[in-house]
Amino acid sequence: MSYTDLNLSPRKKRRAISPEDDTLTTPKPRTPSTISPSKSKAQAQAQSIASATLPPHLSRLLTFQTSLQHALSVALATSAISPCTDTGRVPNVLTHFSLTTAMGFTMNCDVDDVRRLCWLWEWDGRTAKAKVELEEEDNPFVVKSAPAPPTDWTRGAMGFTLSPSTYFIRAESRRVPAYGIGIEVDMNLAEGKTGGMAAVARWTAEGDVRKRELEGKVKAWVKLHKNNSDTSLIPLASLPPLPTTKLTSLPNLISRLPSRSPSPTKGLSSPFPATPRGLTTPSTGKRILKDSEFAVPFPVTPQTPFGTPSKPREIFLSRSSSRLSTPSGSGLFPQTPSKMGAGTPGTPSTNRRAALYERIRLKSLGSDSAPVGSGGGGGGVTPRDRMRLLGQEEMRRRLLLGRLDKVAATVWALFSSPAQTSSTPLSVARKRRTMRMDEVLRAIISSSGIPISMADAQDSLNLLMGLCPFFLRPLVITGEEWVEMPSSNPGNL
């Protein structure tokens, strides 16, 4: 095929073809990354020289702000939080506890570093005073009152904010007060500075501007102290102190509550502890009654020998006690009782007298009925006695057991609602019926006939799951508490 056979345009036909076209090459354009590499190296060298001339504690603050900006940028990008439209702030993005574990933070710091950096943020760059002193009152009769620490405050400048926050310690399962570090963005709709994530992007893009501004303040601080042999430390910002919370557990609070049960009369005991036969065992190993068993014991006989009687009643009691004495041996070990004399009365000889003592004891306790067995001998305890002897924990447990049937009915109705059922029988057999713990607790509180707290509902639900695991059991899914109702089909268990 010849050149004339090709379909070429007239313009291409007029162009002269040189035999050297195959050997010619066109140079490639230079990429932006390779333009003036000497300039970027010069800037890096200038920054390293500037940081090398500063004292170590001032260079540490510059590195601290750079790491802080990186950590805040990563936290804002992962959380997707936008600033408030009124103030332009995103408070408490990080805390001074979480800085060491934050992604993008490459140094260790403490509270003093945060306070020194806050002082530099708020410093005007001209005066060397750490804080503005308040005017003193000239009147000597005015009593100076210490101002109460503020509960809601915000400090900072240069796009950074400090405010009170809390930090959760997983090892101790509790929250502690902390200083929260956030950002502040300038939003002006007239200038096109809108809110949302665009404001966060503007704050991130201004990182170099804030770095140069902080370097200027540090250099101004060095100039103010150039006469000193060693540049003094940056002052600490006068931040409000963090509140100290004293944690107390609920069981300790309940155990410290005073008991309402009446204290019985001390120092009185019955010499006739009733046995199933109505007789006492004349030995040193006999049962000694507690003070709380008899409110008004009958009859009253002291266990220690009397001194010189001063009243006729004491003479009668001393004579009767000497007649009613029982043989005894050593007080260390129980012994087999010896045979009593024929004329020595021991305990009540009949069941009728034992029943009389029991009725008198129950009447002294304020009971309406005296349940005495046909065998006599006492041992009957009324419901009122049991309620008085119960503690706070046992009474609370019985209260939770009393409302357990209503809690179970509420949970059953909640899991049996149409929203929990499926459209096909196959999916019903395979689907696990689970709900969030907080949703179940809200349903229990709303269906209760009396007002109950979230803690009471939690205790009732835990008691139900502990007693009836076949009806309801707890689950933990991705760190959250759920409740599952097992299927009644034996094949799915």
CATH of the domain at 442: 1.10.10.1420
Residue-level pLDDT at 304? 46
Would you call the peptide bond into 251 cis, given omega within 30 degrees of 0 as the criterion? no
- Does residue 429 register a pLDDT over 50? no
Provide the token pair at 161. Answer: 């904010």
**Are 306 and 366 in a shared domain?**
yes
Residue 231 lies in a domain: no
Q: How many CA atoms lie within 13 A of 267 on its CB side?
A: 1
Mark whether 282 and 422 lie in a shared domain: no
- Answer whether residue 51 is part of any domain: yes
Q: How confident is the model at residue 161 (pLDDT cuts 50, 70, 90)?
A: very high
What pLDDT digit, counting tens, does each position of 355-383 carry? 888 888 777 765 444 444 444 444 555 66
Write a three-state SS string for 290-357. CCCCCCCCCCCCCCCCCCCCCCHHHHHHHHHHHHCCCCCCCCCCCCCCCCCCCCCCCCCCCHHHHHHH
- Residue 271 included in any domain: yes
Contacts of 119 (CB under 8 A, 6+ apart): 130, 234, 235, 236, 237
Least confident interval from 198-212, 275-289, 424-438: 275-289
Place 393 in a pLDDT band, splitting at 50, 70 and 90. Answer: confident
Pair (396, 361) in one structural domain? no
Please check whether residues 384 and 408 belong to one and the same domain: no
Q: Which residue has the higher pLDDT, 351 or 48?
A: 351
Segments forming the whole domain that contains residue 362: 265-322+347-389
Whether residue 279 sits in one domain with residue 172: no
pLDDT at 68 over 70: yes
Q: pLDDT confidence of 5, banded at 50, 70, 90?
A: low
On the question of pLDDT at 193 being above 70, the answer is yes
Residue 14 within a domain = no
7 in any annotated domain: no
Q: Which residue has the higher pLDDT, 141 or 213?
A: 213
Average pLDDT over residues 113-136: 73
Residue 212 has a pLDDT of 92
Picking from 389, 417, 448, the residue at the C-terminal end of a domain is 389
User: What pLDDT, on the 0 to 100 scale, is given for residue 49?
Assistant: 43
Number of domains in the chain: 3
Query: Side-chain half-sphere of 84: how many Cα atoms within 13 Å?
Result: 9
Confidence of residue 46 (pLDDT cuts 50, 70, 90): very low
Same domain, residue pair 96 and 173: yes
pLDDT of 265 reads: 44
- Asked if residue 251 belongs to a domain, the reply is no
Residue 358: the pLDDT is 82
Least confident among 26-30, 154-158, 385-389, 417-421: 417-421
Boundary (domain end) residue, out of 163, 193, 224: 224
% residues pLDDT > 90 (the chain) = 5
Looking at the structure, do residues 469 and 455 belong to the same domain, yes or no?
Answer: yes
Residue 484 has pLDDT above 80, yes or no: yes
pLDDT at 226: 75
Split at pLDDT 50, 70, 90, the class of 192 is low
Structure tokens that stand for 199 in this block: 């404001």
Last residue of a domain, one of 389, 413, 439: 389
Asked if residue 460 has pLDDT above 80, the reply is: yes
pLDDT reported for residue 145: 58
Mean pLDDT of 480-488: 85
Label residues 362-379 b or e (16+ Cβ within 10 Å = b).
Answer: beebebeeeebeeebbbe
Residues 84 and 181 in one domain: yes
Judgement on whether residues 381 and 418 belong to the same structural domain of the protein: no
The Cα 474–Cα 378 span in angstroms is 47
Instruction: Retrieve residue 367's tokens.
Output: 């009971």
- Asked if residue 309 and residue 182 are part of one domain, the reply reads no
- 247 in a structural domain: no
Instruction: Assess if residue 17 is contained within a domain.
Output: no
Residues 53 and 173 in one domain: yes
State the average pLDDT for the chain: 69
pLDDT at 63: 87
Q: Are residues 295 and 424 in the same domain?
A: no
Q: How far is CA 351 from the centre of its chain?
A: 60
